[in-house]
Structure 1
C-alpha cells in the first residue's frame, strides 16, 4: 500500500498545462537561446541574492537540471510561460518534484518578464500550479526567496506561502551579505 501511495505522489506536472491567459510547457531545445535572453532580464535580482549571472544557466537547466543535493534529472522540469493571445514566451518556471521530501514540490524559479510584471500573470501561474500539484497528491510547495527582495516576499506571502521553514545564508546583515527565506504553502 505504501508503495502505491508513493507512486501517486511522485507524479510529475504535465508537459503542457494552461491557465486562463497562459500556457506552460516544457522548454524545447530550440528555445534555449530565447529563454536565456529572457532569463538575462532577471539579472537585477543578483543584487539581492549575491549570485553571479550565468550565461549558460538555461542550457544547463535543460540538459542537467538545477538539482538539490542527490537530486535526479527526471524529477526536474523547466517550462516556458506563454501568453495565449500571441504565444509569446513571457516567463520561466522550473520545479523539482519530491524535495526535500517525497510529498513536497520545490518551485525553484518563477519569473515573468520585467516589462509586463504587475499584470497578475505570476499570480495566475501560482494559482493554477497550486491546483495541479494538489491534484497530483503533493502536500506542500516550497520556495526560496532572498530576504532583500521585499516585493517577492510580499508576492509569495500573498500567494499563501506563509510558513517559514528556514533562514539560510549570512548571519549578519550588510550590503554585501545575503540570506534567503524558505517558505511553504501547505496544500
Structure 2
C-alpha cells in the first residue's frame, strides 16, 4: 500500500524518478548536516538512492519502504522528504529513516506537522510503535524527536570512539 497524507500545509506523496532533482536540492540544502550524520553525504548519490528505494535497512524488503516527497498543497513547492519503513525491526514497528526539510521551510513547525500527520495515518493500523535513528551530533534533531515523545532509547550504533569524521546514532522509540 503506498502511503500518502495531507495536512493543512503539507501534501506527502510517493516520490517518482522525475522528482530526483528536487530531492537532490533538499539534500544539498542540508549539506552541512549531512556531513555530521554519515559517511555517505553526497546529495546526488543520496537522491538517487531515495528515488530508487535503495535506502533500505539491513535485510529490508523494498515493498515495506515508503519514500515520500513533501510539497506545499497549493503551489507544489517542495518542502522536504520523508522515508518510512514498516515492519522494521519487528512487524509492529514503523521506522522513520529520514525527515529532511528544505532550508527555507525549517523552523516553522512543518517537521512537527509532517510527523504528526504520519502518526495519525499509522495509528489505526497494525503499527504500535515508531522508531527513529538520530545522529548524536544532530542536537536539533534530538530535541525535535524528544519533544515529540520519543523518550525510549532502543539502541546505539556507529563508531566506538568520538572524533572528526566519526559518526554515532541513537535509536529512539515512541508508542502509538
On whether the aligned pair clears a TM of 0.5, the verdict is yes
Does residue 44 in structure 1 map to residue 32 in structure 2? yes
Partner of residue 137, structure 1: 126
2: CA distance, partners of 1:22 / 1:160: 21
Kindly tell me: are residues 146 and 20 of structure 1, through their superposed partners in 2, closer, same or farther at Cα, counting changes over 3 Å?
same
Number of equivalent positions? 175
Q: What RMSD, in angstroms, separates the aligned Cα atoms of the two structures?
A: 1.5
Which consecutive residues of structure 2, in runs of 5 or more, have no partner in the other structure?
none
Q: Contact 1:91–1:111 (CA<8 Å) still a contact in 2?
A: yes
Is the Cα contact below 8 Å between 1:77 and 1:96 reproduced in 2?
Answer: yes
Structure 1-normalised TM-score?
Answer: 0.87
Gaps of 5+ in 1: 1-11
Can you list the C-alpha shifts for 1:65-106, whole angstroms capped at 9, x where unaligned?
311111111111111111123221111011111100000011
1:18 and 2:24 are equivalent in the alignment: no
Q: Give the whole-Å Cα distance in 2 for the aligned partners of 1:121 and 1:105.
A: 20
Is 1:113 matched with 2:102?
Answer: yes
Q: Deviations over 1:19-61 (max 9, x none)?
A: 1211100112211122112222122113322423232322223
8 Å CA contact 1:27, 1:79 repeated in 2: yes
Q: CA deviation at 1:174?
A: 2.6
Q: Using structure 2 for the length normalisation, give the TM-score.
A: 0.92
The range that moved more, 144-153 or 63-72, is 63-72
Could you tell me which residue of structure 1 aligns to residue 170 of structure 2? Answer: 181
Query: 3-state SS of the aligned residue for 1:56?
Result: helix
The residue number in structure 2 matching 1:66 is 55
Instruction: Report the 3-state secondary structure (helix = DSSP H, G, I; strand = E; otherwise coil) of the residue aligned with 2:96.
Output: strand
1:171 Cα offset (Å) = 2.6
